Amino acid sequence: MDAGDTAALKKLALEAGAAACAVTSAAPPAVLARFRAALAAQEGPVPAWLAREPERRADIKRWDPSARSVLVCLFPYWNASLEKEFERLQPADPEGFLRASGRKKTNPPLLARLRAAGVKPKISRYALPRDYHAAIREVLEDVLARAAGVFPGLEGKVFCDTSPVMEKPLAAAAGLGWQGRNTLLLNSRLGSWSFVGGLTLSLEFPADIPPEYPGCGSCRECEKACPAGALAGGRLDLSRCLSWHNTMETAGGPFPGEASGWGYGCDECQKKCPFNEGASGTVPSFLGPLRSWE
Catalytic residue ranges = 161
**CA atoms of 174 and 183, how far apart (whole Å):** 17
String of DSSP letters for the chain: --HHHHHHHHHHHHHTT-SEEEEEESSPPS-HHHHHHHHHH-SSPPPHHHHS-HHHHH-HHHH-TT-SEEEEEEEES--GGGGGGHHHHS-SSHHHHHHHTT-----HHHHHHHHHTT-PPEE-GGGSSS-HHHHHHHHHHHHHHHHHHHSTT----EESSSSS--HHHHHHHHTS-EE-TTSSEEBTTTBT-EEEEEEEESS--PPPPPPP----TT--HHHHH-TT--EETTEE-TTT-HHHHHHTT--S-PPTTGGG-EEE---HHHHT-GGGTT--PPPPGGGSPPS---
Beta bridge partners of 187: 191
- 208 contacts 69 by C-beta, under 8 angstroms: no
Please, which residues have CB within 8 angstroms of residue 37's CB and are 6 or more apart in sequence? none
3-state secondary structure 8-35: HHHHHHHHCCCCEEEEEECCCCCCHHHH
Type of residue found at 8: A
